[in-house]
Each structure stands twice: as structure tokens, then as C-alpha cells.
Copies of this chain bind each other. A is one copy, B any other.
Amino acid sequence: MAGASGYAGGEILRLLLAHPDLEIGALCAASNAGTTLGEHHPHLVPLADRRLEPATPELLARHDVVFLALPHGASAALAAELPDEVVVVDCGADFRLRDGAAWEEFYGSPHAGTWPYGLPELPTVVDGEVVKSRAALEGSRRVAVPGCYPTAASIALAPGFAAGLLDPQDVVVVAASGTSGAGKSLKPHLLGAEVMGSMTPYGVGGSHRHTPEIEQNLAALAGAPTTLSFTPTLAPMARGILATCTARLASPDTTDEQVRAAWDEVYRDEPFVHLLPAGRLPRTADVIGSNSIHVQVVVDRRVGRVVAMAAIDNLCKGTAGAAVQSANLALGLPETTGLPVVGVAP
């Protein structure tokens, strides 16, 4: 594992400590190499004395599975030096986008490629048919873990596009994230005194890097480009994302039952996606620490739009949980192995 001292790395380790079939190998870090894990993640008591090593390809290559939890752009170079037979699960953005131009526009560097997308329950279109993304992950040696916002927004809206019920124009997503989503960067606006008791938007006007990723997921289902207005906001909580997503109904005749049936059909058998009973709305508290997504969808007849909402734990299902879930699929293990379904609430 590379990037063990960050939040994503810590969460992967938390999950692996409870995983019956995966053993924790070398813990690597960049500037924190030489320190112990306990200095960075005091909650990971069983690993407190493990020393962080520099992330060399040689060291990582000795493992069956390598989790990369690195800053965007750092994974590609490292991954290029890892043997094909090692399962490489990249929590960064490097291999998420299929469109090289979109990558270059949003990340400002050459596009490294595209790996199977680590959101198993996402419906997508392959050869004209709607299938789940997990097909491409089974047995794969490379996995691009989705961004946290794209996970929430795509799962919230995908059934409507898969069923052709939604108009790909004028999709709007406003999402609130806990501040762990910004990582451990030492920036003044992330200080506790700044974030507690305050809400603030950021990456406004389509500039957030998760924008093309959400568009890619939805457009693949819509069969047409989407226009997505995406605004992330920072909420006074450590973990959690609530995505509030809205899109026009393609036809005013679509009934509430059709809408609900579309969502139900896609997620009915998913172990981690929970379409809430009518009348109940998702709360981030209910999924904290778990790999679950709570989803609700409501039709606003007055304006002919659907409002679809999803709550996830940005660090777990939004990053580390998806990484472990995808690794399970890559390794041929039961997909749910070692992954909590139930959040720590209240």
C-alpha cells in the first residue's frame, strides 16, 4: 500500500484489518517514510508500530494486491513499473477518465490511460446493453477507484438514464462533503475553527475535477452528452457526502411508479446500495464507516424533474471501501468480503 499516512490509506487499512482473506503487507509513504503508522493513524492500534517505507516499485511488486492512495497524477508513473500480474487498485484519478482531452483539461497533464472503473454496482452500457460495471472488474489486474462525488452522484442518477427516463440536459448536482474529503492538506480553510459551524461551496462553475467523471458515467447511459452543473460544498463534519441531484423527466407522462421501478430494478439485488422506502430520506450518519449507499428518488411534478439523492461515507464507499470491494472482485473473492454494510450511527 502506498500513501498509508493519508486519510484514504488509513481507511483502507482499517478495512483490511477486518478482512479475513487479505494480509497487510508493506506500508509505504512519501515524505512520511521512516515514521510509524501510529503517528498518523492513532486509531489503527494493531498497526501502531509499523514503520512506513518509501514506495518503491520493487517493494510493492512483492505483493498480490497494491493499493495506491496517492495525490492525483502520482499513480501513473508508479503503476507503470508494477508487473502485470499484480492487482493494482488506484484510489487516485489517473485512470478514471476515458476521454484524454477531458483529462488534460481538468488535470493539466498527459492522460495515462483508462482502467476498469471500480464502482461495481454502476450500470453502464457495453455493446448497446446495460450491464453492471462489476463485469469488467472480475479478474482485472487494474482498477481505477471512482472519485467520491462521482460515486454518490452516479449511483443516485444512473437508473433514470439507464431506463431512458431522464433528459441529459440541465442536470444539476449539489453535493456536501465532510472535510476529510480534502485530505490532510495543511491549509488554513481546513482548520477546525474555520470549518465547524460553516458551509461553503468550492470548485464552483464546473471547475471541480469530478465534473467530467460524473458526466462520463451518465453520458455512457444516456447515450448522449450530458450538461451537468456540479457544485461541491464543504460541510461541518468529518466524513460523509450527501449528493442532491436533479434532472428533467424526458417525458411528462412518466409516472412515479415507473421512476421508482427503474431505481428498484437496478439496485434491488445490490448488497451495498439501499433504495430507501418511500418517505424516508438519506442521512450521511447512517452510512458512516460502512460501504453502503443510501438512495432516494422523488418526482417533482410541478417542474417535471426528478430529485435523486445519495448518501455515502466519502472515505469508505467513496474511496477505501470501493477499493477493497474491487480488489475482492479482481481476486475472485466474494464481493462483500470484509466490508461493513451498517454505518455507525448516531
Q: Compute how far the CA of A311 lies from the CA of B242 in the bound complex, rounded to whole angstroms.
A: 19
Q: Compute how far the CA of A188 lies from the CA of B298 in the bound complex, rounded to whole angstroms.
A: 23
Q: Compute how far the CA of A274 lies from the CA of B277 in the bound complex, rounded to whole angstroms.
A: 41
Q: Compute how far the CA of A205 lies from the CA of B198 in the bound complex, rounded to whole angstroms.
A: 26
Query: Chain B residues near A294 (CB, 8 Å)?
Result: 42
Contact A190 B188 (CB under 8 A): no
* Contact digits for A187-216, partner B, Cβ 8 Å, 1 yes 0 no: 110111111111111101110000100000
Contact A179 B199 (CB under 8 A): no
Stretch of A79-87, A111-119, A130-138, A337-345 lying at the B interface: A337-345
List chain A positions with a Cβ less than 8 A from chain B: 7, 10, 14, 17-18, 38, 41-46, 48, 170, 172, 174, 176, 178-180, 182, 184, 186-188, 190-202, 204-206, 211, 227-229, 231, 233, 235-240, 242, 244, 246, 248, 274, 276-277, 280-290, 292, 294, 296, 298-305, 307, 309, 311, 340-346
Query: Chain B residues near A17 (CB, 8 Å)?
Result: 341-342
Q: A196-B196, A197-B284, A229-B303 are in contact. Are A18 and B237 (CB under 8 A)?
A: no
Contact A344 B344 (CB under 8 A): yes
Q: Compute how far the CA of A239 lies from the CA of B128 in the bound complex, rounded to whole angstroms.
A: 49
Contact B192 A194 (CB under 8 A): yes
Contact A45 B199 (CB under 8 A): no
Most buried by B among A192, A202, A227, A238: A192
Partner of A193, one of B41, B231, B346: B346
Contact A180 B193 (CB under 8 A): yes
Q: Within the complex, what minimum Cβ distance (angstroms) separates A171 from chain B?
A: 9
Q: A42-B280, A242-B201, A283-B199 are in contact. Are A187 and B186 (CB under 8 A)?
A: yes
Contact A242 B191 (CB under 8 A): no
Contact A282 B240 (CB under 8 A): no
Contact B179 A196 (CB under 8 A): yes
Query: Chain B residues near A283 (CB, 8 Å)?
Result: 42, 198-200
Q: Within the complex, what minimum Cβ distance (angstroms) separates A287 from chain B?
A: 7
Q: Compute how far the CA of A196 lies from the CA of B196 in the bound complex, rounded to whole angstroms.
A: 7
Q: Compute how far the CA of A144 lies from the CA of B71 in the bound complex, rounded to whole angstroms.
A: 46
Most buried by B among A170, A198, A235, A286: A198
